[in-house]
Amino acid sequence: MELLKNWFKRSFSDPQVVILGVILVIGFAIVFGLGKWLAPMFAALVIAYLLEAVVGWFERAGMRRMLAVVIVFLGFLALALFLLFGFLPRISRQLTQLVQQFPDYLSRGQDLLKQLPERYPQVVTEEQVQALTATLGQEAANLGQQLLTLSLSSVGVLLGLVVFLVLVPVLVFFFLKDKDLMVRWFVGFLPQERGLVTTVWNEAETQIANYVRGKVLEIFIVGSVTYVTFIFLGLEYAALLSTLVGFSVLIPYIGAAVVTLPIALVAYFQYGWGWDFGQVLIAYGIIQALDGNVLVPLLFSEVVNLHPVAIILAILVFGGLWGFWGIFFAIPLATLVQAVIGAWPRSKSEPAGEAEPVGPEDSA
């Protein structure tokens, strides 16, 4: 008890530690409590953060910021419209076709399972196959019910999507246009002595910037290469599967393993056992190997290396709290936690917060 009392007195006797703690608590409370309603704003912040690098490149080339913002924003709109009206309908059609063929796939899978007791009687029994078949049938019925429920609520989902598509581009434009004004407004609420906050910000900001920009680029590269590869191999549902592969990089170690299953199933039901089936899995394995051993070290060379256990724990915790965005920002949030722990004062002789009291805008 005395140890805990001494730690509390040592840590929170420093006003800058209190300021950092209050900012962190308020920030997490806003995200956790209002995340569902502020999702368009968070999405716009992420996009604006990505586009800011391009705007900065134009500014360093001598272009005025307003002109650079307009050019980058128009490019973003063109890309968004292409994805919305060019690529997304193709994914939607392939998903519809896959759902329509799902009963046939299920029937063929059941026939394959029924052959296992004949081929491997010492390993698989007919009772096990029957139990597994019944379970698959029940899961298929549940999936159909969920799809029906989703279709019945599609009007509300569509309305929310329309609002999202209208608000996000507007917010992105104003975040880019008035970035300096908004940063100064936010910093105006912070105390003058904010050295510890600045230390944490400077350490975490670079990591978060590199990670977010690198992860978006990784999703695009991996998804595009996979799409071209699957088209070349003639695999069905290439757009849908490559999209899954692209987004699977959001979950290190686990995403690639999970996406392997639908790719293997589609390839098997299209080609059966044979060289064509093997080609698909070999090509997918090469893509994953190049991603993990070449692309990731190249894109994330400046990102703090976290232990795999820490990464998985961060994904589980933040993904459970905030869903997709929690998974997307799991590693940046883990680096933020790491920065806070590194800057937290450990003894009276080495107080934190002696850094030059500059604002977050100085590191932007």
Tell me the per-residue pLDDT of 49-71, one tens digit each, with 9 for 90 and over.
788 888 888 888 888 889 999 99
Distance CA 310, CA 293 (A): 20
More confident residue, 276 or 335: 276
Range of the domain at 93: 38-149+168-177
Q: Are 242 and 223 in contact (CB under 8 A)?
A: yes
**What per-residue confidence (pLDDT) applies to 56?**
86
Distance CA 17, CA 353 (A): 8
Q: Are residues 79 and 137 located together in one domain of the fold?
A: yes
More confident residue, 170 or 21: 170
What does the pLDDT look like over 174-195, one tens digit per residue? 988 888 888 788 777 777 766 6
> Per the domain annotation, does 187 fall within a domain?
no
Q: Are residues 21 and 109 located together in one domain of the fold?
A: no
Q: Are residues 54 and 172 located together in one domain of the fold?
A: yes
Distance CA 156, CA 164 (A): 12
Q: Are residues 143 and 198 located together in one domain of the fold?
A: no
Q: Are residues 199 and 140 located together in one domain of the fold?
A: no
Q: Are 98 and 235 in contact (CB under 8 A)?
A: no
Highest mean pLDDT among 106-110, 270-274, 330-334: 270-274
> Per the domain annotation, does 226 fall within a domain?
yes
Q: What percent of the chain has pLDDT over 90?
A: 8
Q: Are residues 206 and 319 located together in one domain of the fold?
A: yes
Average pLDDT over residues 87-94: 82
Q: Is the dihedral of CA 219, 40, 174, 336 positive or negative?
A: negative
Distance CA 76, CA 201 (A): 28
> Per the domain annotation, does 155 fall within a domain?
no
Which residues are bridge partners to 350 per DSSP? 347
Amino acid identity at 327:
I
> Per the domain annotation, does 154 fall within a domain?
no
Q: Are residues 173 and 251 located together in one domain of the fold?
A: no
Mean pLDDT computed over every residue of the chain: 75
Distance CA 222, CA 211 (A): 16
What does the pLDDT look like over 330-354, one tens digit per residue? 777 777 777 777 666 655 444 444 4
Token pair 């795999």 in the structure block, residue? 308
Residues 6 or more apart whose Cβ sits within 8 Å of residue 99: 147
- Three-state SS for 265-286 is HHHHHHHCCCHHHHHHHHHHHH
Q: Are residues 45 and 29 located together in one domain of the fold?
A: no
141 pLDDT band (50/70/90 cuts)?
low
**What per-residue confidence (pLDDT) applies to 109?**
73
Which residues are bridge partners to 347 per DSSP? 350
**What per-residue confidence (pLDDT) applies to 349?**
46
Distance CA 238, CA 244 (A): 10
Q: Are residues 305 and 329 located together in one domain of the fold?
A: yes
Cα first-last separation, the chain? 42
Q: Are residues 237 and 341 located together in one domain of the fold?
A: yes
Q: What percent of the chain has pLDDT over 70?
A: 71
Average pLDDT over residues 289-301: 78
pLDDT at 302 over 60: no
Q: Are residues 142 and 209 located together in one domain of the fold?
A: no
Q: Are residues 124 and 270 located together in one domain of the fold?
A: no
> Per the domain annotation, does 261 fall within a domain?
yes
Give the number of domains in the chain: 2
Going by C-alpha positions, the residue among 45, 51, 50 that lies closest to residue 31 is 45
Q: Are 114 and 129 in contact (CB under 8 A)?
A: yes
**What per-residue confidence (pLDDT) applies to 4?**
60
> Per the domain annotation, does 240 fall within a domain?
yes
**What per-residue confidence (pLDDT) applies to 359?**
43
What does the pLDDT look like over 190-235, one tens digit per residue? 777 666 677 777 766 767 777 777 888 888 999 999 999 999 998 8
Tally of CB atoms within 10 A around 162: 10
> Per the domain annotation, does 160 fall within a domain?
no
> Per the domain annotation, does 161 fall within a domain?
no
